[in-house]
Amino acid sequence: MAILVAGGAGYIGSHVCKILYKKGYEVVVYDNLSRGYREFAKWGEFIPGDIGDVRLLDNIFKHYKIDAVMHFCAFIEVAESVVDPQKYYENNVGNTLKLLEAMRQNNVNKFIFSSTAAVYGIPEKIPIKEDDRKMPINPYGKSKLMVEHILEDYDKAYGLNSICFRYFNAAGADPDGEIGEAHQPETHLIPLILDAALGKRDSIKIFGTDYNTKDGTCIRDFVHVNDLAEAHVRGLEYLLDGGETNYFNLGSGEGYSVREVIETVKKVTKKDFRVVEADRRPGDPAYLVADSTKAKEILGWKTKYSLDEIILTAWKWHSRIGESWQYWRG
Ligand code: UDP
């Protein structure tokens, strides 16, 4: 069974490739390395390329007899999407259409798409269920919801079966310490706190301390990257067994405040560092917590990693790459 993993050299994609490969799937890692790392593409065959390159994709689909596609290629910076929406719609929507077209031309009709909790915008209630109102508040979330709508229509018109996984806060790293989270620039909470713990930043800023939450800081649902990877394998098996197009929230169902995450990092790493209270970051909902009952009922999926384990695995990778960190960041 051959799986094309578009964006397989990125953070979540590489963890998925490792698990797919170990389960015996033939993995084709496809990535233009604009965000991913060549060193992360070591499970399966690596082919450098862009999802907008329909001719190259066409050759790959034919040569490898691809059965299903997983799609992790996207720009993910909310703030950047607000100032440069063209970049987001062109890559996240326009290039996804090209990938889907190459699939259609080759009769590949199983597709797993990385969506996001950002499709819900400001949630009406917590925890969030799949059928709740979807009203994204930034171009990033809108670009992901647009693809969800496109996939609905492609199912009806072309018989493309897909799964949209709406990730909550992906975090943590491969427990073997081989791959981990390294965005450029880094904007995510846990890697930034770990940088402060390593002394690579002089402090961590808390964006907003006046939210209507238990300690005034935002509440998020952190889900380990390998739990996400496991969901992808189950989703793939579901589609290969003839499962219909579907949508799943992927989160732990537990909400932690920004302050709690900082305290947990201090506890797990046994490092102290400066914490600075700052203004709110525009576009942050106070609460984002998933109800993932549907993934449990239909895919038999549940999270295995606690927040402590998420931070411990992330810390192991962060501290292992040590001095080479600058190299990874380019
Ligand atoms: N956050 C923070 N300081 C930082 C980075 C993030 O206080 O240096 C907060 C951010 O405002 C949000 C939470 O941490 O409330 C999670 O942010 P992140 O960017 O990691 O993920 P998001 O929830 O935006 O997908």
pLDDT digits 0-9 by tens, 17-74: 999 999 999 999 999 999 999 999 999 999 999 999 999 999 999 999 999 999 999 9
User: Ligand 1: which atom is nearest the Cα of residue 261?
Assistant: 14
- Residue 287 Cα to ligand 1 middle (Å): 11
pLDDT at res. 322: 53
Interatomic CA distance for residues 177 and 156, integer angstroms: 42
Which residue's CA is the nearest one to ligand 1's atom 21?
Answer: 188
Interatomic CA distance for residues 261 and 243, integer angstroms: 37
pLDDT at res. 110: 98
Q: What is the number of other CB atoms lying within 10 angstroms of the CB of residue 90?
A: 14
Beta strands at 161-167 and 169-171: parallel, antiparallel or unpaired: unpaired
> H-helix or E-strand containing 266?
helix 258-269
Residue with the two structure tokens 């402590």: 308
Instruction: Please confirm, yes or no, whether 88 is among the known catalytic residues.
Output: no
> H-helix or E-strand containing 192?
helix 189-197
Q: Is 189 in the pocket of ligand 1 (CB under 6 A)?
A: yes
Q: Is 220 in the pocket of ligand 1 (CB under 6 A)?
A: yes
Interatomic CA distance for residues 195 and 262, integer angstroms: 12
Pocket test for ligand 1, best of 181, 281, 287, 289 (most atoms within 8 A of CB): 281
Nearest to 228 by CA among 14, 2, 42: 14
SS3 1: coil
Gap between the terminal Cα atoms of the chain: 35
- Read off the pLDDT of residues 196-250 as tens digits, 9 standing for 90 and up: 999 999 999 999 999 999 999 999 999 999 999 999 999 999 999 999 999 999 9
- Residue 280 Cα to ligand 1 middle (Å): 10
pLDDT surpasses 70 at 158: yes
pLDDT at res. 100: 98
pLDDT at res. 185: 83
pLDDT at res. 320: 80
Q: Can you list the domains of the chain with their CATH numbers?
A: 2-171+223-250 (3.40.50.720), 189-220+253-328 (3.90.25.10)
pLDDT surpasses 70 at 326: no
pLDDT at res. 324: 58
Task: Name residues whose C-beta falls within 8 Å of residue 293's C-beta, 6 or more positions apart in sequence.
Answer: 129
Cα–Cα distance list, 23 to 16, 89, 199, 229, 233 (Å): 11, 34, 38, 12, 9
CB distance 40 to 30 below 8 Å = no
* Burial (0-12, 13-18, 19+ Cβ within 10 Å), 327: exposed
Q: Is 205 in the pocket of ligand 1 (CB under 6 A)?
A: yes
Q: Is 81 in the pocket of ligand 1 (CB under 6 A)?
A: no
Quickly state the pLDDT bin for 319 (edges 50, 70, 90). Answer: confident
**Model ipTM value:** 0.99
Mean pLDDT value of segment 170-184: 92
pLDDT surpasses 90 at 180: yes
Amino acid residing at 1: M
Instruction: Please count the residues of the chain.
Output: 330
Beta strands at 222-224 and 169-171: parallel, antiparallel or unpaired: parallel
- Residue 229 Cα to ligand 1 middle (Å): 22
Options 11, 25, 37, 140, the catalytic residue: 140
Interatomic CA distance for residues 288 and 272, integer angstroms: 27
> H-helix or E-strand containing 111?
strand 110-116
| Maximum C-alpha span of the chain | 56
- Residue 189 Cα to ligand 1 middle (Å): 5
**DSSP assignment of 79-91, as one string?**
HHHHH-HHHHIII
pLDDT at res. 327: 47
Q: How crowded is the C-beta side of 85, counted as CA atoms within 13 Å?
A: 8
Q: Is 188 in the pocket of ligand 1 (CB under 6 A)?
A: yes
Stronger pLDDT, 330 or 148, i.e. the higher one: 148
Amino acid residing at 328: W
Q: Please give the mean pLDDT across all residues of the chain.
A: 95
Which residue's CA is the nearest one to ligand 1's atom 11?
Answer: 207
Interatomic CA distance for residues 95 and 50, integer angstroms: 9
pLDDT at res. 316: 93
Quote the tokens at residue 184: 């450029």
Percent over 90 (pLDDT), the chain = 92
- Residue 116 Cα to ligand 1 middle (Å): 15
